[in-house]
């Protein structure tokens, strides 16, 4: 009980009781409520019938099965996921959210589950590149609250590139297809499966190489949890490790991705 050193006896007993009570609560939980922004295929989107589908959805359901709890999905705008988690609207974020130092000041994360490269998409044959010179005078769409928004506003916007934020990824794709945007910046798998391989993505392609910046773009995706939910975080990490070790997450990833994305 190293963290209790320095407390008087009564305070130590109360702290231990609170910790034990929370651990018991986590073990006895009957459902896991995940917050999700469902317009980011192939990670999370809706089928024509309205069912939530995608890699993150499959991983979340597998984790819930391991924990023997019911998965409950609560839809929320991406930029509002962290405030909603803090307000206890749900227990965890499962929406392709990359672990970054900035986000870790507000919430905690599980161990990384996977990582995906980040790329621009634009019309085929375009001279657009993911640089200040390559985007000069261009309009670039990003998802509000995303790491791509953080990067674009830090690196491109100060140099005069018009960075436009949207509440849903589908809105970005619609404006890109209609010509209101010159490019969109998101992770490569979402761009490929959610736009380039869809009818509205005909005539578009990746523009330039992947963009890397560990400080702004992070180093992997995990579940977001509240900072005081240590027992839940430990339970999720155990479930994720078992699902990685037995090959389940690799098999799920193979359904959606062209490249190996799971982090061991």
CATH number at residue 159: 3.40.190.10
Does one domain contain both 104 and 122? no
235 within domain boundaries: yes
Radius of gyration of the chain (CA): 20
- Domain total in the chain: 2
User: Along the 264 residues of the chain, how does pLDDT read in single tens digits?
Assistant: 333 333 343 333 333 333 333 333 455 789 999 999 998 888 999 999 999 999 999 999 999 999 999 999 999 999 999 999 999 999 999 999 999 899 999 999 999 999 888 999 999 999 999 999 999 999 999 999 999 999 999 999 999 999 999 999 999 999 999 999 999 999 998 899 889 999 999 999 999 999 989 889 987 999 999 999 999 999 999 999 999 999 999 999 999 887 667 665
Q: How many CB atoms lie within 10 A of CB 159?
A: 11
22 with 79, same domain: the answer is yes
Residue 154 lies in a domain: yes
Tell me the residue range of the domain where 232 lies. Answer: 2-108+223-256
Same domain, 124 and 180: yes
Tell me if 264 is assigned to some domain. Answer: no
141: three-class secondary structure by DSSP: strand
Distance in angstroms (rounded) separating the CA atoms of residues 116 and 97: 11
Specify whether 101 is located in the same domain as 27: yes
Long-range contacts of 57-62 (CB under 8 A, 24+ apart): 57/94, 58/252, 58/255, 59/94, 59/113, 59/243, 59/249, 59/252, 60/32, 60/34, 60/94, 62/239, 62/243, 62/248, 62/249, 62/252
Q: Are residues 131 and 196 in the same domain?
A: yes
Please, what's the largest Cα pairwise distance for the chain? 71
């Amino acid at each position: 009980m190293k963290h209790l050193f320095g407390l008087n006896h009564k305070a130590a007993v109360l702290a231990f009781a609170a910790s034990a009570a929370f651990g018991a609560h986590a073990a006895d939980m009957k459902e896991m409520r995940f917050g999700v922004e469902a317009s980011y295929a192939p990670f999370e989107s809706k089928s024509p019938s309205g069912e939530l589908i995608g890699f993150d959805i499959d991983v979340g359901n597998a984790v819930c099965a391991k924990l023997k709890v019911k998965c409950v999905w609560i839809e929320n705008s991406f930029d509002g996921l962290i405030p909603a988690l803090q307000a206890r609207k749900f227990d965890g974020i499962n929406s392709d959210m990359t672990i970054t130092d900035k986000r870790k000041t507000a919430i905690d994360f599980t161990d990384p589950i996977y990582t995906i490269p980040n790329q621009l998409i634009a019309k085929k044959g375009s001279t657009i590149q993911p640089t200040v010179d390559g985007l000069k005078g261009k309009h670039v769409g990003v998802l509000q609250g995303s790491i791509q928004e953080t990067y674009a506003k830090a690196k491109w916007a100060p140099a005069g590139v018009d960075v436009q934020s949207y509440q849903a990824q589908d809105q970005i794709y619609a404006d890109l297809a209609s010509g209101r945007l010159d490019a969109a910046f998101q992770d490569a798998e979402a761009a490929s499966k959610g736009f380039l391989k869809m009818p509205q993505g005909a005539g578009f392609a990746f523009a330039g190489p992947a963009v890397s910046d560990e400080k702004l773009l992070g180093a992997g995706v995990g579940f977001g949890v509240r900072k005081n939910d240590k027992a839940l975080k430990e339970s999720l990490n155990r479930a994720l490790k078992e699902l990685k070790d037995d090959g389940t997450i690799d098999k799920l990833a193979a359904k959606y991705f062209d490249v190996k994305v799971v982090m061991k």
